[in-house]
Structure 1
Amino acid sequence: MTHTTLRRALLGAALMLAAPAAVAQKALAQDASSTAEQTIAAMTKIFGDHPGKRSNHAKGVVVEGSFTPSKEAATLSKASVFSGAAVPVTVRFSDATGLPQIPDGAPEANPHGLSIKFKPADGAEMDVVTNSLKFFPVATGEEFRDLLVAITRSGPDAQKPSPVEQFMAAHPAAPRALATARTPSSFGRQTYNGVNAFVLIDAAGKRTPFRYRIVPVAGEEILSADDAKAKGPNYLVEEMPASLAKAPVSFRVLAQIAQPGDATKDATIPWPEDRRLVDLGTLTVTKAVPDSETAEKALLFMPNNLPDGVEVSDDPLIDARVQAYAISFGRRSQ
């Protein structure tokens, strides 16, 4: 990977659009006693301060629909979302970065995100947070913070090798993960992966570690770099509501089942493709919400918001994400 490609994959444009010095210094001068606070402060330095917006995946679109579980899902988990009845869902598709105006076709808008809030009748909600990377660049919250800090210190005038180049050399999974990011023709034509492992628990207490994989029923459709660049700046967030006005968009929600010895606590290690994929059900989005901007400000997707029958694994990134999301939500709610 060339230096130019690396900088683009690592939000090179974001560095050029980073917060003015006064804003950045203010962000990093805050009490950053926790890794999560340091992470959000670094994101603010990179992307700037955008009140009311997420620190990352700031640009998105909110839609609604339903999830219909498969019969096999109920054999793996006692959670009510898998019990048989269709469950209402709220879904948010998003671009990467904390830049609310980032062009949807920009390389820095990858990886795209898909977050789902399941709302069964018994109130036992479940959140699922996925993105289009095949695996994650780092294994811990501390490493993710360090990556962001390295980006803040790697502007055009940084001494070579720059801090981010040094980070990549020391964490070879990071450039490999970032290389899996691709731009789709539609949010509904991309595969999304749950890079963190979770655990399904059945009625007898049997525990099954797994990772989510959410696959478009219509198939993936990935654009070339030139075709993505030629698209309008908001083509993804505009295409989804327009598409839903004509017909629903569906995904298969799959569980990739771990085998003994598969790492559940390291999101940088993808499981082999021969691992069994269980069809948990079908996610069908049917309509855009009337006011996406208002809806997304109030939405909080937390990876540990789970019902009885689904639990977190030993992956430390899950708790790191929860803490960072909580800080980001608190700031945009002010």
Structure 2
Amino acid sequence: MPFPTDEVIMQTGRDLVAQLQAIFGQHPGLRPAHAKGLLLSGTFTPSHLASTLSVAPHFNAPTTPIVVRFSNSTGIPNIPDTDPNADPRGMAVRFNYGERKHTDIVAHSTPSFPVRTGAEFLEFLKAIAASSSAGGTQSPSPVEKFVAAHPSALAFVQTPKPAPTSFAKEKYFGVTAFKLVDAGGKETFIRYQIVPDLGVETLSEEEKAKLGPDYLFDEVAARVSEGPFSFRLLAQIAEEGDVTDDATMLWPETRRVVELGVIRLEEVVKENAKEQKYIIFDPIPRVAGVEPSDDPLLEMRAAVYLISGKQRRAAA
């Protein structure tokens, strides 16, 4: 996973990591965002259609080993699963082809992102930090001013984010667009959706109040110990005129959605904390058959993930 070469992107990435750590605290060896997580392993089985859309190895092999990380939002490693700030939840998928050969999908449980660029995200985080330090004495607060000036951020904040009953009963979205490339070079713009075979199930506030701080992690570990569970990897296909370089803009729900395959999770990864410290997911595919779009968040997120990952690996 190489660093982006643009120094502006790199500096903004470093600033984003530092700002996240300023908000959530310094936690050496852990992620500055989505710090609380769990790795599971399993297999991916592609659909027949997947091989007609892309030459990527995981869409053409009979099966591919995978590692999946479920997580809570924020950089607080002990955030209660019942805390509203723990949403949206995260799901990252690594498709392993061999030693140091892999590609990833990074998704979360809301279909869009609050801002279009890394610079705007840094501004958003600074507004959150300033509002917290002001202790509610400013009106409107810095973050209220920010969302008022950024409708996509306001929509993201206002989107309902009910807590799931299980990581296995949540739907996840890859908010950026990618290009699938077939054997003839034809490109198809898509956005990933990951849909649970068990169905989506959420909690009311009353139900959530009765649960423990680790209910999601306890539940998914117990569930997989009793047998596998699965998701469908879907692709929403863009049509002419759909915006493919802006994660704040959703495509119409009428767009065609096709199945790319089945994500089957079979066990909790051994030495989980050690493996979580080591693995660095990459938002950019870096594999033949799947190409990035021009969404500016991709290079920025790749920089943030790699910078924080190198910090994590270097921590005692």
Q: Which moved more, 1:150-159 or 1:99-108?
A: 150-159
Take 1:41 and 1:126, find their aligned partners in 2: how far apart are those partners? 27
**Matched pairs, number:** 303
Matched, 1:174 2:181: no
Structure of higher RCO (CA pairs closer than 8 Å, 6+ residues apart): 2
SS in 1 for 2:131: coil
* TM-score scaled by length of structure 2: 0.93
Pair 1:110-2:90 in alignment: no
Are the structure 2 counterparts of residues 298 and 196 from structure 1 closer, same or farther at C-alpha, using a change threshold of 3 Å? same
Query: TM-score, structure 1 length as denominator?
Result: 0.88
Displacement of 1:157 after TM fit? 3.5
Hey, what does 1:199 align to over in structure 2? 179
Q: What percent identity do the matched residue pairs reach?
A: 45
Q: How does 1:272-291 map to 2 (within 5 A)?
A: 272-291=252-271
Post-superposition offset of 1:225: 2.1
- Corresponding residue to 1:91 among 68, 72, 89: 68
Matches within 5 A, 1:156-171: 156-171=135-150
Preserved contact between residue 87 and residue 121 of structure 1 (Cα < 8 Å):
no
* Residue 298 (structure 1) aligns with: 278
| Partner AA of 2:96 in structure 1 | K
Q: Considering only aligned residues, what root-mean-square deviation do their CA atoms show, in Å?
A: 1.4
Unaligned runs of 5+ in 2: 1-8
Deviates more, 1:180-189 or 1:213-222: 180-189
Residue 55 of structure 1 aligns to a residue in which SS? coil
Aligned to 2:24: 47
- Residue in 2 aligned with 1:208? 188
Give the deviation of 1:226 after TM superposition.
2.5
Written as runs of structure 1 = structure 2, the 5 A alignment for 1:253-268 is 253-268=233-248
**For the Cα contact (< 8 Å) 2:190–2:237, is it kept in 1?**
yes
The structure-2 alpha-carbon separation of the partners of 1:217 and 1:48, relative to structure 1 and needing over 3 Å to count, comes to same
Shift of 1:288: 0.4
**Consecutive aligned runs of 4 or more in structure 1 exceeding 4 Å deviation:** 121-124
Q: Which shifted more, 116-125 or 70-79?
A: 116-125
Q: Which residue of 2 aligns with 1:64?
A: 41
Correspondence for 2:250: 270
The answer on whether the counterparts of 1:88 and 1:119 sit within 8 Å (CA) in structure 2 is yes
CA distance in structure 2 between the aligned counterparts of 1:151 and 1:68, rounded to whole angstroms:
42
Output the CA distance in 2 between the equivalents of 1:96 and 1:76. Answer: 33
Instruction: Say which SS state the counterpart of residue 40 (structure 1) adopts.
Output: helix
Q: Which moved more, 1:284-293 or 1:94-103?
A: 284-293
C-alpha spacing 1:233/1:199, structure 2 compared with 1 (3 Å): same
Deviation at 1:175, TM superposition (A): 2.5
